Chains A and B, each alone.
Chain A
């Protein structure tokens, strides 16, 4: 079963729900996508290196097999969710402190 694919999709959906329910709403801001583009650039360098060398090796049973350069498509979902989640919590706690 494509477990990594399933988990990656669930993480994106969860992140969108988290952004809405927490009322942080960073995903609605245009600057967030500029931010994502910056992150994406460095992700391509670092994640590209890790998958090309390869330091991290993926089992083809668990992901779709689609790669952008050497990076599995699911890694982009993972990366988006993780980075967005950290920003959502950061904004949430920062506002509570203020």
Chain B
């Protein structure tokens, strides 16, 4: 939640025109969520890693803590936002 807050607020900064591509955003986050979420479900099921019950909320979805599911939405969002922000800033420097 913390890692997503600032990029989410900044994503409304008009020059980025970030939300005009909300469909592309939804598709790319959705696909990443399914692929890497499945990997996580598999890994948690096989026991590659596990979650300290004291560190996460008790609610589980496909064997994953809710925080972990949110991770797969928040991180792609932050990644795409950072990517757009860097490209925007780079464009301003070179112009």
B39 contacts A by Cβ under 8 Å? yes
Is A7's CB under 8 angstroms from B39's CB?
yes
Interface size on A, residues (CB 8 A): 34
Task: Chain B residues near A78: list those with CB within 8 A.
Answer: 36, 39
Interface size on B, residues (CB 8 A): 33
Task: Chain B residues near A82: list those with CB within 8 A.
Answer: 32, 36, 75-76
Known: A82-B32, A82-B36, A93-B28. A4 touches B83 (CB 8 A): no
Q: Count contacts between A and B, CB distance < 8 Å.
A: 99
Interface 0/1 of A42-60, CB less than 8 Å to B: 1000100000011111110
Least Cβ distance of A93 to chain B in Å? 4
B29 contacts A by Cβ under 8 Å? yes
User: B residues bordering A, Cβ < 8 Å?
Assistant: 3, 21, 23-25, 27-29, 31-32, 35-36, 39, 43, 46-52, 55-56, 75-76, 78-80, 82-83, 86-87, 90
User: A residues bordering B, Cβ < 8 Å?
Assistant: 3-4, 7, 11, 31, 34-35, 38-39, 42, 46, 53-59, 62-63, 78, 81-83, 85-87, 89-90, 92-94, 96-97
